[in-house]
Amino acid sequence: MNDDQKYILAIDQGTTSTRAIVFDHAGQIVASGQREHEQIFPKAGWVEHDAAEIWRNTRSVVGDALVGAEINRHQLAAVGITNQRETAVVWDRTTGEPVYNAIVWQDTRTQKICDELAGDEGAEKYKERVGLPLATYFSGPKVKWILDNVEGAREKAEKGDLLFGNTDSWLVWNMTGGKDGGVHVTDVTNASRTMLMNIDTLDWNEDIAGDMGIPLSMLPEIRSSSEVYGTGRKQGLLIDTPIAGILGDQQAATFGQACFEVGQAKNTYGTGNFMLINTGEELVRSENGLLTTVAYKIGDNKPIYALEGSIAVTGSLVQWVRDNLGLISDAPEIEDLAKKVDDNGGCYIVPAFSGLFAPYWKSDARGAIVGLTRYINKNHIARAALESTAFQSRDVLDAMNADSGVELSELKVDGGMVKNETLMQFQADILGVPVVRPQVIETTALGAAYAAGIAVGFWDGEQDVIDNWAEDKRWEPTMDEATRERYLRLWKKAVERTYDWVDEDVNELYG
């Protein structure tokens, strides 16, 4: 490597693993490191991570990436962070230790809390203020659960001894010194997923925090997505390196995909699927089950908003087929099985493992495989698993078209599943619009890198991101309209079969 050349390091703290990627000025990957962390399932519907393990893994993958790139911290212009949103960490500011495992965005234990908070006003109670429905998905109710259920936690919180953040805040605090002076911040995109931030003024809502019993002293300072928050701690690998970008993972992918114009949209295929459409400086309130969220805010510039459709289970359905059913030994094998049949044979899988997210928001739904006959084999099940991702994305796109009034002409895609060409073709077919994959599919990490690089002048601004973006492959729809509509009718029929499954008997027997 040229000792004078500079790079950006992006830390991508995801739901199943943590990665560190070194990017050059052209937005190309130079080297990376990745480590998975344990998925903890204490009870049905509960999903946890060990935040201390995530911090250990972060330090390891940073070292791996720097070694792979054959550079040291002196050649890093800045570090950007992107993270799984809505996953709540509460820790002791004095000891630096989490008081409980991180409660993951997929976790449904807070349903009773959400119901109690909703009262007679229902799930839309806070939506005007925060852009979100009351749902187990978001961070605020998770924090309330920890304070209510971990011995001594509420007393410590009320004394000002506990801190809360999504995993971005947890990492930045540790990276900048932890208990020895760590910076406690988050950015507007992560704050917009807590149910605690006013979506219009971008500050904490004291009344909602009060309703949830969350002391304001626990909350991080809300900052923009692109500015210097602090520098690396003295005893780490990133000594004095500016930490200068934070974006929640889906907003980071939107940024990395250069969706800067109103009406541009991307869909990320990961553990879940997340489709965002840029609405510019206009705060659009959804009437069709979507979330109003902050897309990004660069320094002192005005915030840019987005509508988002969040789907809980897509890539994790492939993991379930692998780990729980044992039909495949490696995730990419699912495409090999799916290609052995021409269609799903009438089998539909609705993976409502954590209820249904956008646009349905049915927390009492549970997963179903419908249309089973003796004809169905594992190939049909594999194909149905892939197709469920495409069908759920179509549901979200329909809601976006209705809310935005803009018919998409193409959809930019990214994330691990976009390597699956069978899925991408079916996605184009069921949407009826072209699907476009970029050359660099790690757009989540890339978006965080761009945010950090812009903050320190490594890149001049959004035009550099646009100039770096390059198309890799495009899938054109080939399905006729009549066939598409038949598929969609059967899909919606399958979705309806999952409603209202959770009741007192289910909770008593399996809760």
Binding-site residues for sn-glycerol 3-phosphate: 15, 85-86, 137, 249
Tokens of 118: 């909703």
**What type of residue sits at position 417?**
M
Integer angstrom CA distances of residue 348 from 352, 408, 492: 12, 26, 10
Residue 90 belongs to what H/E stretch? strand 89-92
Annotated binding site: 15-17, 19, 85-86, 137, 249-250, 271, 315, 319, 416, 420
- Integer angstrom CA distances of residue 422 from 270, 273, 396, 432, 492: 16, 17, 20, 15, 22
Q: Which residues are annotated as a binding site for glycerol?
A: 85-86, 137, 249-250
3-state secondary structure of 209: helix
Quote the CA–CA distance of 411 and 397 in Å, as a whole number: 10
Calculate ∠ Cα 223-224-229, nearest 5°: 60
Cβ burial, residue 316 (10 Å; 0-12/13-18/19+): buried
Beta bridge partners of 31: 22
> From CA 187, how far away is CA 448, in angstroms rounded?
12
The candidate with the shortest Cα–Cα distance to 189, out of 103, 105, 19, 304, is 304
Cβ 363 vs Cβ 122: under 8 Å: no
List the structure tokens of 459: 């890149």
User: Binding site residues for ATP, as ranges?
Assistant: 15-17, 271, 315, 319, 416
Helix (H) or strand (E) holding 83: strand 76-83
Q: Which two tokens stand for residue 297?
A: 């805010």
